Amino acid sequence: MTLDLTLEDSRWTILPPLADRAISATLAQMGLDPEICEISLLGCDDDRIAALNAEFRDKPAPTNVLSWPAEDLAAEEPGGEPFAPEADFTGAIPLGDIAIAFDTCQREAVAAGKPMDDHVTHLIVHGLLHLLGYDHIRDEDATLMEGLESQILGNLGLDDPYTME
Q: Residue 14 has what pLDDT?
A: 97
Residue 165 lies in a domain: no
Average pLDDT of 129-137? 97
Percent of the chain whose predicted confidence (pLDDT) is above 70 = 99
Where does the pLDDT of residue 163 fall: very low under 50, low under 70, confident under 90, or very high at 90 and above? Answer: confident
When divided into structural domains, the chain yields a total of: 1
Q: Is the pTM of this model over 0.85?
A: yes
Is 164 inside any structural domain? no
**Is residue 130 marked as binding?**
yes
What's the pLDDT tens digit per position in 86-102?
999 999 999 999 999 99
Residues spanned by the domain of 45: 2-155
d(CA 45, CA 34) in angstroms, rounded, equals 28
pLDDT of residue 164: 63
pLDDT the model gives residue 165: 53
Domain of residue 101, CATH code: 3.40.390.30
Distance of alpha carbon 39 from alpha carbon 22, whole angstroms: 12
Q: What single letter denotes the amino acid at residue 128? A: L
Residue 89 lies in a domain: yes
User: pLDDT tens for residues 30-75?
Assistant: 999 999 999 999 999 999 999 999 999 999 999 999 999 999 999 9
| 94 located within any domain | yes
Is 62 within the bounds of a domain? yes
Domain for residue 82, yes or no?
A: yes
Which residue, among 145, 112, 119, has the nearest Cα to 29 in the 3D structure? 145
CA-based R_g, the chain, Å:
15
101, part of any domain = yes
Q: Is residue 98 part of a domain?
A: yes
Question: 58: buried, middle or exposed (CB in 10 Å: 19+, 13-18, 0-12)?
Answer: exposed
